[in-house]
Amino acid sequence: MKFKHRSTFFYILLTLLLLTACVVRPIDRSPYQEAEYYEETLEDLQESPVEVIQGDTVQVGWAKVNITPPTGTPLAGYGKRLGMDYETVHDSAWVRTFAFSNGSTQAYYVALDLLIVPMEVLAQLEKAYPKLGLKPEQVYLTATHSHTSFGGWGKKLGIKIMSGKYDEELVNGLVQQIVESMQAAKANLQPTKIGYGSTSAASLVRNRLLDDTDNPYYKDRQNRDTQLRFVKFERADGTTAVLSSFAAHPTILPSMTPTLSRDYPGVLVDTLEARVGFSSFSAGAVGSHSAIYFDGDTYASTGMVGSRLAKLLREELRDVPTAYVQTLGYGRVPLELPKPSWRISKNLRLAPFLFNTVFGKHPAYVTSLQVGDIVFLGAPADYSGEFVEQIVQQAQAQGLYAIVTSFNGGYIGYITPDKYYDLDEYETRSMNFFGPHSGSYLTEIILLQLQQHKK
């Protein structure tokens, strides 16, 4: 009898060990430069190089389309909402698009008032591009990253938790609205002078990853991207448009209020449009960066941050020189990825099939758009502002200005410096999906993509 019990216990233990072996893996900390996915991405860079095309004077057009869905649509941005629908609209969501043409080629810059550019939207857009005479790399996608905008655009369980029940009609409608904005912007093309500007907004952004822990990097207050960057567009009739980007999460408003809003980017854009003809905003390298505000999670705080950013920008705008340019360029390289490393402890991760079951497998890219001597670089992630300085410095060495944006149509989680990987924090533990070298790897590919652009 004792033997039978021991035998049963042995088989139960063996079964548990086998199950554990199936669902748990050790973290792979080997150098990414030795990995096959790294070599494949380098090959992709060579096979899909950036196109930089000289032509006639660049013409620019802009347009916006209201994309606010009906009340009863879920909000996106916080898992604890569990797909909560919004009941009222504080300020509407838009797609704002710039069109560019130099006679030899054309390109578009699309900014959505959404948490991210949804993967399902990207997939549907790529079916629409051929009818517009476009290749995917000619359309540069971004988002404002408001955590109080609408969802309904994710199919997999892990995405539904953050964005609510999937709505195919909403996705199809959103794709049509983006295309409509592109067509309207193209119809508005005119010769336009272009100039780059930036100003410090250090008092409005903090590194929440470091500020909220007692780690050894806490005292290094330089670990932030503090610049408010913008592009000024100026027409012969005096009409001005502004495209801006800043690296602070739009997470000011309360998570459990059923109200749709663009958070502080909405205030920034609306305030600027009271003075200029058109304005647009894109989330910069917001990974672990948050806005600094003092009136709690209220509209007073979004108003303070947005209006302060607008004031700082306006103070610089008048003195930014503009000129006609002839160069347009664009690129999109597939970012090959390691097997998912969704961690359950410092050195253990769940098996890749579990991650893929929850979140799905989606393509990721590094994207770029060049207009004159300004290069936009797009990451498929919550990309950390700590990487931006080296990118900006390389661009300067090439005689270019760089603006880094996040959320270009793919999503691979939070990308922070490798040195923080073992911090037991949300950004580095729960939201680092692809291992200890994600930051170095993605940044290297961005820099290599940038190298292909030329003045």
Name the burial class of residue 7, with classes exposed (0-12), middle (13-18) and buried (19+) by CB atoms within 10 angstroms of its CB.
exposed
Q: Is the dihedral of CA 252, 255, 256, 262 positive or negative?
A: positive
Round to whole Å and give the CA distance between 130 and 126. Answer: 8
Token code pair at residue 142: 């971004």
The reply to whether 145 sits in an annotated binding site is yes
Round to whole Å and give the CA distance between 150 and 203. Answer: 29
Range 120-141 burial, b when 16+ CB lie within 10 A, else e: bbbebbbeebeebebebbbbbb
DSSP for 316-375, written as a single string: HHTT---B---EEEEEEEE--------BSSSSEEE-HHHHHHHH-----EEEEEEETTEE
Element (H, E) at 8: helix 2-23
Which of 374, 420, 426, 365 has the alpha carbon at shortest distance from 398? 374
- For residue 363, the number of C-alpha atoms closer than 13 Å in the C-beta half-sphere is 14
Contact in structure between 28 and 352 (CB atoms under 8 Å): no
Round to whole Å and give the CA distance between 110 and 64. Answer: 10
Round to whole Å and give the CA distance between 213 and 201. Answer: 23
Cα 149 to Cα 22, 116, 145, 306, 369, distances in angstroms: 38, 10, 8, 16, 26
The reply to whether 147 sits in an annotated binding site is no
- List the binding residues for Zn(2+): 145, 249
- List the binding residues: 145, 249
